[in-house]
Amino acid sequence: MKKRYTKIVSLVLGFGLAASMVAGCSVKSSENVVTTAAPTAAKAETTASAESGGSAAEQKKMVFWDKSEYVEGYNTMMKAKVDEFASENHVDVDYVVIPAADMKQKLMAAIEAGNAPDLIVGDDTLVGQFVSMQQIAECSDIFEAVDFTENSKILGTFNGKPYLVPLAFTAPGMYLRTDQWEKTGMDIPTTWEELKEGAKLMNDPANGFYGLGFAMGASGGGDAEGFCRTIILDWGGIPVDENGKVTVNSPETLEALKFIASLYEEGLIPPDAITGDDSWNNNAYLAGTVGVITNSGSVVSSMKEEKPDLLANTQIIAYPAGPTGEAFTLGGANVFGIFETGKNTETAKEFVKYYFEDLDNYNAMIEAMGAMWQPVVNGVDDTDFWKDPVNAGWLANSKNTYKTYYPAPSDERATVSFTNQLCVKAVQEIVVNKADPQEALDHLEAEFNKIYN
């Protein structure tokens, strides 16, 4: 039997449509603007000094746009850290919580108006885009000051330099309805073909239940493109090689596209999944209408709160292997982005360094997010939380993270090709437009070449 390898490929995406890339989880919070002022006494002291002719330092300011999270307690904890920083360092901070789906549009408008924020938190898709637009500051000083894990440093590197400051990994898992799978009489699947076979046995469309729940909408998110590239890599295909040469048009990629299309054509996935966005699989699994999805720990958090019986019948399994014996898994991260075009870039850097000085607080914030976030700094994962078997798998996945466009070089072309969802559109051509798979692959190659050549 072939030895099986598991690789985690991170969603360091970039250019293109913004996505809420906590692996497709939706958000609950609405936009909220909170101004945190430095202590009044400090302001009074400054005013008095100025009136007496003394040389008082100008009041520091910072505008921080954070994305709302599925677990709302995160924003509360981040706000508390902002308050602490503002108080200790005499900084006026505007802390703004924005739904992830709105972040890109608001950032583009702010940049156009010359009012970019100083600091944002976003998924690496979003922040990578603004690196490409030459809006984000290079952060070597922060990488030197913070003991980041090696794989998080790799994730934060763009065009050979550190720009994306890691906040937390968002490694995914494959969710399996054990109560439904047990009816198949099969062992836990270790290959995609076994998973498909079991899905056929679980499938019961007449009663509103489907074996699989993989969305394939070109909605701007990363879930569907990541799923397609996972299969392509597992089948031995390589969209773009390590030298930046487009190599997608191969027999291996063709067979991978045929396999993906077959899942939809054979009715193993609900029909509306072909246009479903990144929240589609969350909702389908929580509704109890599908047997298998891939997602981050956000679905676990939802089940704990809303569907404990469903959680009891759920197992997180390793991603299956393809014909090559390899199993690639896609992960991602939330990152800080410091705007070079902001008015208070240095203050933003000071805050990020300050944030990582208190690792107890950092770990508390990570654990508050449940298994959907994993740490990016060394020395904080030896806790009961991460030793719990329910959480240990997520942590293990996060420790082996590579970029989604592996093995292509990390540059703007790679991020553009991913966020343009080229592979998703090829599958849609086959499934929706009934295109010949080879013709769809030829068109896919042409689309890659438009970007790379």
> How would residue 2 be classed by pLDDT, with cut points 50, 70 and 90?
very low
Q: Are 102 and 111 in contact (CB under 8 A)?
A: no
pLDDT at 36: 60
The predicted structure's pLDDT at residue 57: 53
Q: Where in the chain is the domain with CATH 3.40.190.10?
A: 61-171+331-402, 173-330+421-450
CATH number of 173-330+421-450: 3.40.190.10
* Model confidence band, residue 441 (pLDDT cutoffs 50, 70, 90): very high
In percent, the amount of the chain with pLDDT more than 70 equals 87
In 3D space, the residue among 394, 405, 401 whose CA is nearest the CA of residue 233 turns out to be: 405
Out of 101-110, 206-215, 344-353, 384-393, least confident range: 384-393
Which of 47-56, 311-320, 392-401 is predicted most confidently? 311-320
pLDDT of residue 31: 60
Positive/negative CA dihedral, 448, 130, 395, 393? negative
Taking 50 as the threshold, does the pLDDT of residue 46 lie above it? no
pLDDT digits (tens, 9 = 90+) for 120-144: 999 887 898 899 899 999 999 999 9
Higher-confidence residue of 318 and 448: namely 448
Q: What is the reported pLDDT for 437? A: 99
Most confident option among 39-48, 252-261, 365-374: 252-261
- Tell me, what's the pLDDT at 1? 40
**Nearest-angstrom CA–CA distance, 394 and 296:** 9
pLDDT, position 34: 61
Instruction: Provide the token pair at 89.
Output: 């360092």
Sequence letter at residue 330: L
Taking residues 311-320, report their average pLDDT.
90
pLDDT at 449 exceeding the cut of 60: yes
Give the pLDDT confidence of 84-117 residue by residue, as tens digits.
999 999 999 999 999 988 998 999 999 999 999 9
Return the CATH superfamily for domain 61-171+331-402. Answer: Periplasmic binding protein-like II (3.40.190.10)
> Residue 220: is its pLDDT beyond 90?
no
pLDDT of residue 185 exceeding 90, the answer is yes
Q: C-alpha 291: how far from its chain's center?
A: 23
Residue 291: other Cβ atoms inside 10 A: 29
